[in-house]
Amino acid sequence: MVILVALVVSLSFHEFGHAFVALRFGDDTARRAGRLTINPLAHIDPMGLLMVVFIGFGYAKPVPTDPRRFTSRYADLLVAAAGPAMNLLLAIISINAYLILLDWGWVDLSSPGPRLFFIYLAQINLLLMMFNLLPVGALDGHYILPYLLPRALSQAYRYYNGRYGNWALLALILLAFMGVPIFSTISGFSAALLPFIAWV
């Protein structure tokens, strides 16, 4: 239950990040759709949530945007990066808030409830950040990678990801269920990042 609550909170902030930055760059599509909020009811997809409960993998409703309204040529990059950035920010706040409360004696070290919630919240957000940065399918990383490539490679990547990216993402998921340690590797990297954001 603690993990489910932490995941719902994390997904809600992730999608809010996309909506917030899109509005800053002139696109109010998400705001008009009621997505400029951290209310989970606006972001959680029922089927995606059921998938989380039963198979450990799911999704939230994607934030709608209209690139024609953007006021910067880099807006799609920044809007895409806003979701993972929000997850990183929430992870930093979570782990350091827990350490502050622990230092002040406001939480009991022997009490598993607060410790589990804050640490799970930090770890889940780091995991969401890294997963969404994968440059396949419709994940946020596919908006970001083209800006890091030479123009010819960028165009080729956009073409092939547009045609085959979702199949590649599905293949990764299927391989993970077949025992290939794809998501466990991502999770391991995420856990390794935790000490680097614990600054208190």
Q: Which amino acid is at 6?
A: A
Per-residue pLDDT reduced to its tens digit, 119-155:
889 999 999 999 999 999 999 999 999 999 999 999 9
179 pLDDT exceeds 90?
Answer: no
Residue 189 makes CB contacts below 8 A (sequence gap 6+) with: 130
109 pLDDT exceeds 80?
Answer: no
Q: Looking at the 3D structure of the chain, how many domains does it have?
A: 1
Query: Lowest-confidence range among 7-11, 25-29, 113-117, 168-172?
Result: 113-117
Q: Which domain holds residue 172?
A: 2-197
Taking the C-alpha atoms of residue 82 and residue 45, their distance in angstroms, rounded to an integer, is 20
Has 15 been annotated as catalytic? yes
Per-residue pLDDT reduced to its tens digit, 159-178:
999 999 999 999 988 898 88
Catalytic hit among 15, 27, 76, 140: 15
20 pLDDT exceeds 70?
Answer: yes
Per-residue pLDDT reduced to its tens digit, 36-55:
999 999 998 888 877 776 66
